[in-house]
Structure 1
Amino acid sequence: MSTQPALTDRPRAEQLAALRAQLAQASAARGPALAFGLPAIDDRLADRGVDGAGLHEIAAATDSLSDDAAASLFMAGIAARFAAQPGFTVLWALSRFDLYAPGLEQVGLGPDRILYAQGRKDSDVLALAEDGLRGGSLACVVAEVKAADLTVTRRLQLAAADSGTPILLYRRDRKPDRCPLVQPSLARTRWRIGCASSARLPYPGVGRARWSVELVRQGSGNPFSLEVEACDVTGRLALPAAAPDRAAAPVGAISQAA
Structure 2
Amino acid sequence: MSAVRDQVLAGLRERILAIEGEGGRKSGVLAFGVPEIDGILPGGGLALGGLHELAGGGSGTVDGAAAALFAAGIAARTKGQIVWCLTRPDLFFPALAEVGLHPQRVIFVEGDKEEDVAASMEEALSHGGLGAVIGEMVRLPMVVSRRLQLVAERTGTLALVVRRWRRQTEANDFGQPTAAVTRWRVSQLPSEELPVPGIGRPRWFLELLRSRAGECREFVVGACDEQGRIHISTGPADGQDQAGRSRHIR
Gaps in structure 1 of 5+ consecutive residues: 1-21, 244-258
Q: How does 1:103-122 map to 2 (within 5 A)?
A: 103-122=95-114
C-alpha displacement of 1:180: 4.2
Distance 1:242 1:211 in 2: 12
Name the aligned partner's letter for residue 68 of structure 2: S
Distance 1:170 1:199 in 2: 25
- Say if 1:24 and 1:205 are closer, same or farther in 2 by CA, change over 3 A: farther
C-alpha displacement of 1:77: 0.3
Name the aligned partner's letter for residue 123 of structure 2: D
Aligned length: 218
Name the aligned partner's letter for residue 35 of structure 2: P
Counterpart residue number, 2:89: 97
Look up the SS of the partner of 2:218 in the other structure. strand
Counterpart residue number, 1:186: 179
Check the 8 A contact 1:59/1:179 in 2, yes or no.
Answer: no
Distance 1:78 1:24 in 2: 28
Is 1:220 the counterpart of 2:213 in the alignment? Answer: yes
Distance 1:28 1:238 in 2: 35
Gaps in structure 2 of 5+ consecutive residues: 1-16, 237-250
* Ranges of 4+ aligned residues in structure 1 off by more than 3 Å: 27-30, 173-180
Counterpart residue number, 1:76: 72
C-alpha displacement of 1:218: 0.9
TM-score normalized with structure 2 length: 0.82
Tell me which of 240, 253, 257 is aligned to 2:233. Answer: 240
Counterpart residue number, 1:25: 20
Name the aligned partner's letter for residue 206 of structure 1: I
- Say if 1:184 and 1:28 are closer, same or farther in 2 by CA, change over 3 A: farther
Q: How does 1:201-212 map to 2 (within 5 A)?
A: 201-212=194-205
Is 1:35 the counterpart of 2:37 in the alignment? Answer: no
C-alpha displacement of 1:122: 0.4
C-alpha displacement of 1:201: 2.0
Look up the SS of the partner of 1:206 in the other structure. coil
Q: How does 1:59-74 map to 2 (within 5 A)?
A: 59-74=55-70
Tell me which of 162, 172, 193 is aligned to 1:170. Answer: 162
Q: Deviations over 1:184-228 (max 9, x none)?
A: 101000000111112222222111000011000011112111100
Look up the SS of the partner of 1:182 in the other structure. coil
Look up the SS of the partner of 1:71 in the other structure. helix
Check the 8 A contact 1:181/1:190 in 2, yes or no.
Answer: no
State, as a whole percentage, how many aligned pairs show the same letter. Answer: 40
- Say if 1:110 and 1:156 are closer, same or farther in 2 by CA, change over 3 A: same
